[in-house]
Every structure is written in C-alpha cells, then in structure tokens.
C-alpha cells in the first residue's frame, strides 16, 4: 500500500514540484493551502506524513503542528517543516513543537524525498521496536532511552544510542558505514562527515559496553553487525 503524504503549502509552484517528485517515487499525495484545511484533511484522510509550511495564511504551521501533536489521533503522524526561515531559533521552535525534521527553502527535491523516506522509516521502526530488549548481559530500554550492562547503567550519547539501536533492530544483518552514516547523521550531513566518524563512535560504544562489546562485529571493508547469539 502506498504511503499517503499531505502537503500543506500556499505556493502553487512548490506544491506542483512536490507532487510531481513524490508521485514519481510512488507516494499518494494530497495538498491544501492553509492551516484550517490541513487540520480537516488530517482527520479525514490520516496521512502517513505531513509536509508543513511554516508561513501559512491564517493558522500558521507552528500552531498546526502544536495542535496535531496534542491530539492522540494525530500525535504520531510524522511532520517535516518546510519554510524559508533558516535561523536556528526557528528550527528549535519547530522541533520543540514536535516536528520530526526541518527543511529550508530553496531545497533539493531529491534531498526532501530522502528525508521523507528516512522519517517514514524511523516512524515504522519505532512502531516495530519492542520497548525493552535484552541480549546476554545487555539491556536496552528504547522507551526510556537507557542502556545497562550487568544491571549497571551505561551512559551513551544520542548518536551512540542510535547506532546501538539500529544494529539491534536488524537482528544480525550487516550494515555498511555509508548506511549508518546516512540514517543516523542524516542525508544533509552525509556529504560532510567522513565514514570514519562511524568507526570512532563504534569504538567509544564498545568501550562503554565493556563485556558486551564483543557482540559488535566488524565486517571487513563493509561495516558492522550485532551478534545476539552467545
């Protein structure tokens, strides 16, 4: 089944461009031009993701996001903010309101499509991932974002936790450095950060996991996998 995307944007040219690129990628697409219509459409059609412009006539994007994230029926729908504002404070406000990502105009359609796929993937993974996972002496609580080894808490950075979580989710499959870089650091940073950044974070993660570090296996010339079997 095709994922449904709602575009909330008042610039016709941007809507046409987005519709063309998203339909080409196989998405179902609907659109509206203001915040009030967006709220009505979301309740009627329940999209899988919303592309939400910040500057809208009437009810602005921040208010729409705030309302949607407060309602239990719509709180889990991923939102990507789309706006001409690029100041850091605007991004912080949008993300604090509950937006899942933030793209500033002008933007590359290819980049936005990549971000949409990444956000949808994270939302899908979030729904499938158990709240608590135990492997050997390692215990990961995904809901509380906490890790322990032999019942002793392990302090991880956000990126280290995401690395561990991603390796655990794929159940022994190998993940390339490029894949980890793209999915954890994000599409917009992948060109700027060297793949050795992944190696550095894996190294510090292993140190912190101590006896369970042996489970993170290096696959030569490829990447990493997590060994759950003893």
First-to-last CA distance in the chain?
38
pLDDT tens-digit readout, 197-212? 889 999 999 999 999 9
pTM tops 0.75: no
Please determine, for residue 158, whether its predicted confidence score (pLDDT) is greater than 90.
Answer: no
Check if the beta carbon of residue 35 is closer than 8 Å to that of residue 60.
Answer: yes
Backbone angles phi, psi at 153, to 5 degrees: -60, 145
Q: What does the pLDDT average to over 43-69?
A: 89
Handedness of CA 18, 19, 21, 26 (dihedral sign): positive
Please give the Cα distance from 115 to 139 (Å, whole number): 30
Is pLDDT at 1 greater than 60 in this prediction?
no
What pLDDT, on the 0 to 100 scale, is given for residue 203?
Answer: 95
Please give the domain boundaries of the chain with CATH numbers for all domains.
Answer: 4-127 (3.40.50.2300), 132-226 (1.10.10.10)
């Amino acid at each position: 089944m095709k994922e449904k995307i709602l575009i909330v944007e008042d610039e016709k040219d941007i809507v046409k461009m987005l519709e063309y690129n998203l339909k080409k990628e196989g998405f179902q697409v609907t659109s509206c031009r203001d915040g009030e219509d967006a709220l009505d459409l979301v309740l009627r059609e329940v999209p899988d993701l919303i592309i939400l412009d910040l500057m809208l006539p009437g009810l602005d994007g921040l208010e729409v996001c705030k309302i949607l994230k407060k309602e239990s029926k719509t709180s889990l729908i991923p939102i990507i903010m789309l706006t001409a504002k690029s100041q850091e404070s605007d991004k912080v406000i949008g993300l604090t309101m509950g937006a899942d990502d933030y793209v500033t105009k002008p933007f590359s359609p290819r980049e936005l499509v990549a971000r949409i796929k990444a956000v949808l993937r994270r939302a899908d993974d979030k729904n499938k991932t158990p709240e608590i996972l135990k492997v050997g002496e390692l215990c990961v609580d995904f809901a509380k974002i906490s890790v322990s080894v032999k019942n002793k808490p392990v302090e991880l950075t956000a990126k280290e936790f995401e690395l561990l979580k991603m390796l655990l989710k794929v159940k022994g499959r190998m993940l390339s450095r490029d894949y980890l870089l793209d999915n954890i650091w994000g599409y917009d940073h992948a060109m700027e950060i060297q793949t050795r950044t992944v190696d550095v974070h894996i190294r510090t993660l292993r140190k912190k996991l101590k006896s369970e570090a042996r489970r993170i296996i290096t696959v030569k010339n490829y990447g990493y996998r997590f060994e759950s079997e003893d």
